[in-house]
Structure 1
Amino acid sequence: MYDTARERLIHLHHCRGIGWKSIARLLDVDPSLTSIFHLSSHQLQRLLAIPEKHFAVFFHDLHCHKLKRMIKTYEEQNIHIVTIKDDEYPDWLKHIYDPPWVLYAKGNVQLLKRKKLISVVGTRTPTRQGMAAMHIVLPPLIQHGWVIVSGLAKGVDAEAHRLCLRHNGETIAVMAGGLRYIYPPENESLFRQLATTQLVISEYPPFVRPQTWHFPMRNRIISGLSVGTVVVQAKERSGSLITAHFALQQGRDVFAIPGDITTKEAHGTNRLIQQGAKLILSSDDIEEEFRHLFT
């Protein structure tokens, strides 16, 4: 059916009914994935140990020739496919516990191989103080060649991407669902700009609608792409703190901008500082941390 392990992995990644762990199991059994397409239903089911209804969908998709034709159409839509087996796969991301097997990308895929990547995350409802702090910290980083990684969400994420555009910098947006489903819809214009001149990526095939659980899983990619994560503003319970915790689990640095203790949008960042995140007042506080890596 396919000539290379790369092609077989891409097909497998499009199969419904299985997730990251099932693909890991199949790669453990056969890194080339050659035998997977020839195993009987019974043999595969014993290997995967997933619910029967999920397995039925998976087995159907595994032998579905329509998938092969659909994957071929991505090139016509300017969608690049980068697998963990490819040289283009980002180095920092490859070393996290659960790296995406496949990335789908629109834009400049060369950004994935940059070394100076820093993630910027924060609340969807930043205060004027939070926005002003971004305008102090981010432009010098952008001008010094740092690629800004964020999640295309409202608020801090979108402003981080826009600052890169204004200052002729480079940025990567990580989406929660497939590339055909822009979320939030009000960022469609920003998405189109980034997909043309910058880079937008997702770990899900383009036709996959974003689900609630995709968002926290997306955050591990935001932190995993970068040497460190900057949290601008965050409430005590927020997706930004999930990203910060992923960064810590991945052995990456976490930076936080302090805020007014009477402002709920600063509670999460102040708590991070209390727990050991590096308090930053300027871009120098970030660059100093990585001077040994990039001099």
Structure 2
Amino acid sequence: MSKKFLQRLLALHYVYPKPLNKLNLLLEKDLQLERLHEQSAQQLSQKLLISAASAQQLKTAYADSLKIPFEAVYEKHKIIPISYLHPLYPKSLLELFDPPAILYAKGKTNLLDNPDRLAIIGSRKATSYSRNAMELIVPPVVENNFVIISGLAKGADAMAHETAITFGGSTIAVTGSGFLHPYPKENLNLHNIIEENHLIITEYPPYMPPKKWNFPMRNRIISGLSRGIVVTEAQTKSGTWSTVDHAIEHGKDIFAVPGNIFSPLSEGPHKLISEGAKPVWNGWQVLEEYRQLVSKN
């Protein structure tokens, strides 16, 4: 990727932070975005299926954005933009219908080189049962060089990151906001630890605040990065299910932790198990699943 194209892509994504399938409407006949500034508002409106007024605003904002030295600004703030053409960009994300056009990263980007990545997710209201389960699941997995992925939300996500760190593993947090708006505030210290010693990624430019629709979008990245997903505690109607749905759609392995039959937070894992998810209560079971897959191949 040329520096000029990267600058144009970063400028466009800054003012139009959409997935690659949306940006492809502009890229398909202008691969280097060399003629984007020449497009009329009407042309942009037709290509992007937006109003003429929105297209004019985009055109103006893009022209202003081109003047910002993004690479230098991001480097100053230790943000590494990883475009869909970057060598570190995980190829598994390109299998999504709507891959992120750019991943903004802070931390150890070499963790993206490790294909053995396991997501651990669950309820924001997860109890100590989730933490206890993770303390049996995570140690063997990280000892065998798997990276633990989650979404840095309250509850099970935070527990997954913390458990990976406690047992000497590596973790990747996928967030639903830009780096200027770490979310939630309760996890700010954890956010800083992961940023410094592990890896945080987001598809949103730094100024983007957390919006409720960002998090279902974030979940497809968690699924896309992972070989498999472990669900600890979750109700049958929760944000956890959007990640599970993405994982099922893309043929990822689904693991579920059996729980107390009297707990509403066990309903989700038990439903998954009834539908074919593998029940797990220690990390060796997860590893054995992958050993079997390797031997079959």
- 1:186 corresponds to which residue? 186
Residue 254 of structure 1: how far off its partner (Å): 1.1
Identity percentage over the alignment?
A: 35
1:23 aligns with 2:38: no
Q: Do 2:42 and 2:52's aligned partners in 1 also have CA atoms closer than 8 Å?
A: no
The AA in structure 1 aligned to 2:147 is V
* CA deviation map 1:222-274 (0-9, x unaligned): 11101111111101111111111111112211111111221011111111111
The AA in structure 2 aligned to 1:118 is L
Is the partner of 1:89 in helix, strand or coil? Answer: coil
Is the partner of 2:105 in helix, strand or coil? Answer: strand
The 2-side partners of 1:146 and 1:207 are apart by 32
1:220 aligns with 2:220: yes
The 2-side partners of 1:89 and 1:19 are apart by 14
Aligned 1:2-17 pairs, distance under 5 A? 3-16=3-16
Cα separation, partners in 2 of 1:160 and 1:18, compared to 1, 3 Å? closer
The 2-side partners of 1:250 and 1:147 are apart by 19
Residue 89 of structure 1: how far off its partner (Å): 0.6
Cα separation, partners in 2 of 1:73 and 1:251, compared to 1, 3 Å? same
Q: Do 1:61 and 1:67's aligned partners in 2 also have CA atoms closer than 8 Å?
A: no
Residue 18 of structure 1: how far off its partner (Å): 5.8
The 1-side partners of 2:202 and 2:193 are apart by 16
The 2-side partners of 1:199 and 1:67 are apart by 29
Aligned 1:1-295 pairs, distance under 5 A? 3-16=3-16, 20-65=20-65, 68-69=68-69, 72-291=72-291, 292-293=293-294
Q: Do 1:150 and 1:157's aligned partners in 2 also have CA atoms closer than 8 Å?
A: yes
Aligned pairs, how many?
A: 294
The 2-side partners of 1:232 and 1:256 are apart by 6
The 2-side partners of 1:101 and 1:17 are apart by 8
Q: Do 1:177 and 1:211's aligned partners in 2 also have CA atoms closer than 8 Å?
A: yes
Cα separation, partners in 2 of 1:110 and 1:3, compared to 1, 3 Å? closer
* CA deviation map 1:136-181 (0-9, x unaligned): 1111111111100001111111111111211121000001010111
Cα separation, partners in 2 of 1:46 and 1:284, compared to 1, 3 Å? same
Task: Using structure 1 for the length normalisation, give the TM-score.
Answer: 0.93
Cα separation, partners in 2 of 1:17 and 1:86, compared to 1, 3 Å? closer
Q: Do 1:258 and 1:270's aligned partners in 2 also have CA atoms closer than 8 Å?
A: yes
